[in-house]
């Protein structure tokens, strides 16, 4: 089955700096890669996703890049703000076979004001 590895497990940045979280996956048939954000004490929520027919997707200060050859994808947050502090999870899935996401182990991002 799919295995998703996520790094780093914790990340501390100064407000205004950029943050990058990286994930690798094992199943070459995976073609959908979402990112979820979980603020302290709250439920995870989808913030951005990318599908295998594109290499990059942006939404304001967040972007995701995908390298299918290397089987890795990354989340980029620019101009970080204290409200970006949260745990971020990457995930992967394929269209066929098991119809459920496999999540990474999570990255705790702390933005220092």
Partner 1 sequence: DVKVTQSSRYLVKRTGEKVFLECVQDMDHENMFWYRQDPGLGLRLIYFSYDVKMKEKGDIPEGYSVSREKKERFSLILESASTNQTSMYLCASSSGTVREKLFFGSGTQLSVL
Question: Where do contacts with partner 1 occur on this chain (CB under 8 A)?
Answer: 1, 6, 9, 32, 34, 36, 42-46, 49, 51, 89, 93-95, 98-106
Q: Which is nearer to partner 1, 13 or 32 (CB)?
A: 32
CA distance 76 to 78: 6
Q: Which is nearer to partner 1, 68 or 78 (CB)?
A: 68
Q: At 73, list the tokens.
A: 């994808």
Q: Which is nearer to partner 1, 80 or 102 (CB)?
A: 102
Minimum Å gap between C-beta 100 and partner 1 is 5
Minimum Å gap between C-beta 66 and partner 1 is 14
Q: Which is nearer to partner 1, 63 or 101 (CB)?
A: 101
Minimum Å gap between C-beta 23 and partner 1 is 11
């Amino acid at each position: 089955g799919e295995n998703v590895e996520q790094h780093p497990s914790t990340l501390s940045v100064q407000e205004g700096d950029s943050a990058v979280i990286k994930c690798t996956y094992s199943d070459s048939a995976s073609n959908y890669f979402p990112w979820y954000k979980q603020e302290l004490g709250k439920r995870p929520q989808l913030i951005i996703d990318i599908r295998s027919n594109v290499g990059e997707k942006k939404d304001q200060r967040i972007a995701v890049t995908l390298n299918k050859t290397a089987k890795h994808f990354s989340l980029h947050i620019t101009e970080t703000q204290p409200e970006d502090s949260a745990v971020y999870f990457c995930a992967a899935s394929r269209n066929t076979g098991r119809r459920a996401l496999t999540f990474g182990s999570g990255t705790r991002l702390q933005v220092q004001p």
